[in-house]
Amino acid sequence: MPPSKPRLHWYTVRPGFVATVCVALLGLWLFYRHYHPPVGSGPAGAPVPAEPFARPWSQRQVMVVGVGDSVVVGFGARRGYGVFDRLVSNPPDDAGDMAGKTLSRVLPKLAVVKIANNSTSSGDHLRYQLPLLQKQASDVFGIVVVSTGGIDLIHDYGDKPPRDEAVYGAPWPDAERYAAAFRQRLEALLDGLASRFPGGSEIFVATIFDPTDGVGDIDHVDPVLRLWKPLPLWPDGLRTLAAFNTHIREAAAARPHVHVVDVHGTLLGHGLHCRDARNPSYHPDDPTYWLYFNLEDPNERGYDALRRAFLLEMVKVLPERLGAPA
Q: Smallest Cα–Cα separation from 40: which of 215, 270, 212, 218?
A: 270
Nearest of 152, 130, 148, 133 to residue 186 by alpha carbon: 148
Predicted TM-score (pTM) of the model is 0.89
User: Residue 114 pairs with which residues in a beta bridge?
Assistant: 66
| Chain segment 208-256, per-residue pLDDT in tens | 999 999 999 988 765 555 566 678 899 999 999 999 999 999 999 999 9
Q: Is CATH 3.40.50.1110 the right assignment for the domain spanning 54-321?
A: yes
Peptide bond into 156 cis (omega under 30): yes
- Look at residue 141 and tell me whether its pLDDT is greater than 90: yes
Alpha-helical (H) ranges within 150-262 are: 150-154, 172-195, 223-228, 237-253
Residue pLDDT, tens place only, 263-321: 999 999 999 999 999 999 999 999 999 999 888 899 999 999 999 999 999 999 999 99
- Please give the pLDDT value at position 3: 60
Residue 305 has, within 13 A of its CA and on its CB side, a CA count of 25
Q: Which helix (H) or strand (E) holds 30?
A: helix 15-35
Q: What are the boundaries of each domain within the chain?
A: 54-321
For residue 33, the model assigns a pLDDT of: 46
